Amino acid sequence: MWLSIPMQQDSISNLPSGVPTPVDLQRSAVRLLLSMIALPNHFGQSEILHPLDSRSAPRTFLSLRQDIVVLVLDTLLLLRDSHCVQMLLCALLCIAEDLASYENLVHSDESCTDAGVRAVPKAPDSVQKLFTQAVAAICKRLNLEHDSALKMDYDTTLTALDVLSHLARLPIGQSSFGGPHNTQNLLKSCVRWLCDFISSQCARPRQEHSRYLHSQIVATYDCLAQWALNYPQLLLDEDTLICLLEIIELGLSGSKSRVEHRGEATRFEPKWRKQKSPHSARLAQAAECLLSLIMSQVGAFPPALGPQTAYGSLLTEESFPDCRRR
């Protein structure tokens, strides 16, 4: 209940001294929620006793996991306090890491069932489902620039980008890329959301550009590099590859060759006519690092036989779009 209390500055300022504000109550509620994250994995199938209501059906601690995940995801899109949002982002990463290690334990113990050894019970929710929900929630929160109340500050934005980078390094989503079609679309949309975030930050007025803003953009480029490195299949999609190349061009030259205006036809400016004027040397260096990583994937074919390599891609020079007409 305290997680959804609307915060009004007038009512907060009129509170007497010593009375906790709604922000304090929300932070306390988030801390209580964080203390319950490890309970499903720790107690597993242990039943939760209901001393006040003995007629209700018994529940296990493992069944609370989905309720905790839903509460964290819903609250992440509602709270305005940056301290609470950062705690929820870290909680989301902890849940994903715990669930990934839990499912690895389940898969490793499945072979023990034939030998008569009791295996670890299977979790009711899938780690791939949590992965897609977490990525969608963080990207949606990052692109809430139109809502000044939900707009994240500098520290919260860096925390969200750091969590996204850690999610990209987890092995839980790599196996799901070849799975359902909506999962593949979500991973591609994640790259587009990050590119749109860079475009929106670079499009701010010149007087709003500062080292803090550029640090956010550099962190977004690093996050894109993690997704391109751990999911080389994304580079095989032409639309995703074009989106990445355009955002690299924005960082290197300060503008895109493809200019789109609402209600007008898309026009292209030849790259050889453009004047190289990056927003800062840091952005140009971050974009160049991302370009170098993408080019390193060209021709890095996985072996046909033998052990699978950690990173490999079917990207070739012919996969790149024809830029002569752009």
Task: Tell me how far the alpha carbon of residue 122 is from its chain's centroid.
Answer: 26
Q: In the prediction, which pLDDT does 195 show?
A: 92
Give the pLDDT confidence score for residue 108 in this predicted structure: 62
Sequential pLDDT tens for the chain (326 residues): 445 544 444 444 455 566 677 788 888 888 988 888 888 877 877 787 765 556 667 778 788 888 888 888 888 888 888 888 899 999 998 888 888 777 767 666 554 544 444 444 444 346 778 888 888 888 888 876 545 555 678 888 999 999 999 998 887 655 545 455 566 788 888 899 999 999 989 888 888 888 899 999 999 999 999 998 888 888 888 888 889 989 998 998 888 877 665 555 556 666 666 777 888 899 999 999 999 988 887 766 665 554 444 455 667 666 666 544 44
Q: What is the pLDDT of residue 59?
A: 79
Residue 9 tokens read as: 């500055």
Is 127 in contact with 103 (CB distance < 8 Å)?
yes
Measured between alpha carbons, how far is 201 from 211 in angstroms, rounded to an integer?
A: 12
Q: 3-class secondary structure for 75-138?
A: HHCCCCCHHHHHHHHHHHHHHHHHHHHHHHHHHHHHHHCCCCCCCCCCCCCCHHHHHHHHHHHH
What confidence score (pLDDT) does residue 288 get? 93
Amino acid identity of residue 68, one-letter, is I
Using an 8 Å Cβ cutoff, are 240 and 320 in contact? no
Give the phi and the psi of residue 47 in degrees, each rounded to 5. -80, 145
Tell me the C-alpha to C-alpha distance, in Å, between residue 11 and each of 3, 8, 229, 311: 17, 6, 49, 55
Dihedral sign for Cα atoms in the order 130, 133, 136, 141: negative
Number of H helices, E strands in the chain: 11, 4
* CA separation for the pair 75, 85 (Å, rounded): 8
CA distances from 297 to 121, 166, 294, 311 (A): 40, 21, 5, 9
Contact between residue 53 and residue 88 where contact means Cβ atoms under 8 Å apart: no
The H or E element spanning position 47 is strand 47-48
* DSSP code of residue 7: P
Q: How far apart are the first and last CA of the chain?
A: 54
Contacts of 12 (CB under 8 A, 6+ apart): 21, 22, 23
pLDDT of 266 reads 58
CB 194 within 8 A of CB 201: no
Buried b vs exposed e over 302-325: b needs ≥16 C-beta within 10 Å? eeeeeeeeeeebebeeeebeeeee
